[in-house]
Structure 1
Amino acid sequence: MSVTEPNAEHAGPAPTPHVSERGRVWAALRRNKPALAGLFILAVLVVAGALGPLLAPYGINEVDADHLFQGPSRDHPFGTDDAGRDVFSRVLVAARVSLLVGLVSVGIALLVGVTIGLVAGYYRGVVDNVLMRCMDVLFAFPVLLLAVAIVAVLGRGLVTAMVAIGVVYTPIFARVTRASVLSVREQVFVTAAVSTGASDWRIMRRHVLPNIAAPLIVQTSLSLAFAILSEAALSFLGLGIQPPQPSWGRMLYDGRGYVQDAWWMGLFPGLAIFLVVLAFNIVGDALRDVLDPRQLTKDEARRTA
């Protein structure tokens, strides 16, 4: 008996090609022009952080006594400061400091906060109450005040600033994680994993954590912006990055007394902080919209229509 091919007229509609979650997110971001602008600014920040010392036309501590307080020019696009140092070179190299502080401090907050939130949300009861009350104590302090207190205890410097900012933002990640875990904890796939005898750690790592990744990604993007802003505030107060290492916040501090006569000393590092914080917030808002389950439902309905 021969086998014949089915009639194309009765084959039904062609199946909708599968679109991965990563592809869907990237496609949505490409349609969001502000998000693309934010990603471009962040890409420039990464390049400046990685290649800043190589791209800088002058040394960050290269003093030129003949060109003190020189305004923006072809040789010095951002002018020079009170020591004759090139402001453009210092702003460029300081991007590495801001990027490093942002990534490390948020990494600390993410690691500690997510762990606390996972344990509190999964076990609930007494464990939840103890851990979250500890987070509430930290959360009750104003962000900058708590960071200043930590730096006062541990001492000034880059490492201390990263630790202080990481501690400050830990309660935020703990709260976001706990709230997400409570909504996932009772799902069928978690109950099924428990019934198979899987360990609690394996369930949290393999089944719970991947399903709460979306809000954590959004929170990470937003926290990076505020971590960079917090580092700038600490350095402005003289508690963060110490000279001669350039920092946007420290450069603002150095230029505070020359607002009228040498406005460029504070303007350009201030603009750098503004643009980076704005970029992270724009990307964070875009990710929040893209990763929203309601938006996912709309995209699926649009593709199947």
Structure 2
Amino acid sequence: MANAATGIDGLTETKADRLPRSARLDLTTSICLVVLVTFIVLAVFANVLAPYGFAQIDLHARKAPPLLFGGTLKHVLGTDELGRDILSRVFYGVRTSLLIALGASAISLVLGTTLGLLAAFRRGFADMLIRVAVDFQASMPFLIIALAVLAFFGDNLWLFMALLGLYGWERYARLVRTMTGLELERGYVAALKRNGASTARIAVMHVLPNILSVVFVNLTVVLPDILMQESALSFLGLGIQPPMVSLGSMVGAGRDYVMTEWWISTLPGIAIFLLSLSISLIGDYLRDAFDPTLH
């Protein structure tokens, strides 16, 4: 059969057995994958799964505790200072935080990959200029830059996402420049040049597909960092603004009640922790399994 082979000992060897050990899912990675898929489902179907609207107020149930701490089934995870349902707000908060993190990660990936390819192919002044920009970005604390920009230009969702898209692009640029330099030393690039292929065609159609797996592995490293940056800025009141809700803004709104109504900030904080940890551990697995520089 195509999916199995018989070894010299007569036992059947499956495709999973022939995979390298680092490419097999372990228990931790499997749990993280389940957690991540659960969060994605909650984000996509928040409108259906949430028992209440994220801004729906119930003044008669203000600061109601979670079910296991004296609350009722009406609000399983309790309510905040305005009587808004914490469970519903967590669902919508996961959606907002994930959308912003994914959008910003896409901007960072495209920007860094483009500049990395440009630096590797053009060399000379362009390479030097991009390397200076990379060093500047790596040396400056991103949070300080973000605070200055948001304080000057004000709060805007698209500006906020674009600003977060500037986080981590230097990692892609360095990685892509290095990997592209290795690809340029291979024979197929010289053959393509002799056949008259343009630089843009070689970069996009031939070099980029060969390094794309490493780029996407790096995405799983940058994504949790962007998620944490979004949460930090929203916590400080410079990110998502009411009536919109994100996990970071929920933590920030509940910091004044952390000693009495702890669930207001603790539960979205746990969601941030689980989401970031799951993506990070899945990223470690993908790096160990598919990054050719490690084998």
Distance 1:29 1:48, change over 3 A: farther
Which residue matches 2:70? none
Counterpart Cα distance in 2 of 1:24 and 1:43:
24
Distance in 2 separating the partners of 1:84 and 1:98: 22
Which residue pairs with 2:203 in the alignment? 204
The Cα offsets for residues 33-56 of structure 1, whole Å up to 9 and x where unpaired, read as 222222211111211111112110
Query: What residue number does 1:188 align with?
Result: 187
1:59 corresponds to 2:53: yes
Deviations 1:223-275 (CA, angstroms, capped at 9, x unpaired)? 11111111111100111100011111111111101111100001100000000
Which amino acid letter does the alignment assign opposite residue 76 of structure 1?
A: H
Match of 1:47 in 2: 41
Distance 1:141 1:71 in 2: 42
Say whether the 8 Å CA contact 2:23–2:288 is kept in structure 1: no
Task: Give ranges in structure 2 of 5+ residues lacking alignment.
Answer: 1-12, 68-72
- Aligned partners of 1:265, 1:215: CA distance in 2, in Å? 39
287-296 or 209-218, which moves further after superposition?
287-296
Query: What residue number does 1:177 align with?
Result: 176
CA apart distance, 1:206: 1.6
- The whole-number CA distance in structure 1 between the counterparts of 2:135 and 2:294 is 32
Give secondary structure in 2 for the equivalent of 1:260.
coil
How far apart in 1 are the matches of 2:57 and 2:24? 44
Query: Which deviates more from structure 2 when the two are superposed, residues 29-38 or residues 256-265?
Result: 29-38
Is 1:70 aligned with 2:64? yes
Consecutive unaligned residues in structure 1, runs of 5 or more? 1-16, 297-305
> d(CA) in 1 for partners of 2:132 and 2:166?
15
Distance 2:151 2:138 in 1: 19
Contact 1:161 1:234 in 2 (8 A): no
Question: Which is higher, the Rg of structure 1 or of structure 2?
Answer: 1
TM-score by length of 2: 0.88
CA distance in 2, matches of 1:154, 1:192: 50
The aligned counterpart of 2:4 is none
Number of the residue aligned with 1:128? 127
Secondary structure of the residue that 1:249 maps to in structure 2? helix
Partner residue in 2 for 1:151: 150
For these two proteins, the number of residue pairs brought into alignment is 277
Q: Distance in 2 between matches of 1:123 and 1:294?
A: 24
Q: Deviations over 1:101-140 (max 9, x none)?
A: 1111010011111000001012222211012212222222
Deviation, structure 1 residue 293? 2.7
TM-score under structure 1 normalisation? 0.85
- 1:75 aligned counterpart, secondary structure: helix
8 Å CA contact 1:29–1:35 kept in 2: the answer is no
**2:265 corresponding residue in structure 1:** 266
Rounded to whole Å, the distance in 2 between the matches of 1:109 and 1:126 is 23
Q: Counterpart amino acid of 1:154? A: F
- Tell me, in whole angstroms, the C-alpha distance in 2 between the residues paired with 1:53 and 1:145: 35
Structure-1 separation of matches of 2:34 and 2:128: 43
CA contact (8 A) 2:54 2:89 kept: yes
Q: Contact between 2:167 and 2:226, CA under 8 Å: does it hold in 1?
A: no
The separation in 2 between residues aligned to 1:78 and 1:153, in whole angstroms, is 37
Change (3 A) 1:150 1:177: farther
1:119 aligned onto 2:113: no
> In 2, Cα distance between the equivalents of 1:152 and 1:99?
24
Instruction: Indicate conservation of the 8 Å contact 1:189/1:207, yes or no.
Output: no
Aligned letter for 1:109? S
Asked if the contact 1:231–1:249 (Cα under 8 Å) also holds between the matched residues in 2, the reply is yes
Superposed CA deviations along residues 56-87 of structure 1, whole A, max 9, x for unmatched, are: 01111111111111100222121110001100
CA distance in 2 between counterparts of 1:24 and 1:205 reads 30
**Counterpart amino acid of 1:39?**
L
Percent of residue pairs identical: 37
Q: Distance in 2 between matches of 1:76 and 1:114?
A: 46
Looking at structure 1, the residues matched to 94 and 74 of structure 2 have their Cα atoms a distance apart, in angstroms, of 21
Distance 2:149 2:137 in 1: 12
| Distance (whole Å) between structure 2 residues aligned to residue 24 and residue 148 of structure 1 | 47
**Residue matched to 1:6:** none
1:23-102 maps to which residues of 2 (within 5 A)?
Answer: 30-73=24-67, 74-102=73-101
Which shifted more, 286-295 or 183-192?
Answer: 286-295
